[in-house]
Amino acid sequence: MLKRLLLCLALTVLFCAGCVDSESGRRCFQQSMQQGKDMQRLRHVVLFKFKQETPPEQIEALENAFRALPHAIDEVFNLEWGTDVSVENLAQGFTHCFLLTFQSEKDRDTYISHPAHKAFVAMLQPHLEKALVVDYMAKK
């Protein structure tokens, strides 16, 4: 009963906030609940600057190896990645950015010590000039 009352209240608030009918209200409610969950997630930002002599084929192999990590490590909730396209010229030679999402610090710690991650780091080291890693708890 209380659960229903809270759902009705939430849908009413969403209706007033612009979610016009009950179906779109339900979707808005689900999206806001998902955003609330996202706020608790840990982001792990990894930037790479490769050695100048590293051939493009090797960089592509490293990209593929990094992208394969979520398939080997269940604790990775999400992975996004890309290469620098900024026009500000502030990247300091960092060309690749990988953004991993974890549901907890424990999951991140499991990822860091996982054999697949360690194997990737060993594969990466000979080609890496510099790396930068920043972890933060996502807020909205």
Q: Residue 75 is which amino acid?
A: E
Q: Kindly indicate the confidence band of residue 6, based on its pLDDT and cuts at 50, 70 and 90.
A: very low
- What are the sequence ranges of the domains in the chain? 2-38, 42-137
Cβ 100 vs Cβ 138: under 8 Å: no
Using one digit for the tens of pLDDT, what is the confidence trace for 86-133? 999 999 999 999 999 999 999 999 999 999 999 999 999 999 999 999
The model carries a pTM of 0.72
Residues 6+ apart with CB under 8 A from 129: 49, 50, 51, 52, 93
Whole-number Å distance between alpha carbons of 117 and 125: 12
Q: CATH assignment of 42-137, given 3.30.540.10, 3.60.21.10, 2.40.160.20, 3.30.70.100?
A: 3.30.70.100
Using one digit for the tens of pLDDT, what is the confidence trace for 30-73? 555 555 554 589 999 999 999 999 999 999 999 999 999 999 99
**How many other C-beta atoms are found inside a 10 Å radius of the C-beta of residue 113?**
9
Using one digit for the tens of pLDDT, what is the confidence trace for 89-102? 999 999 999 999 99
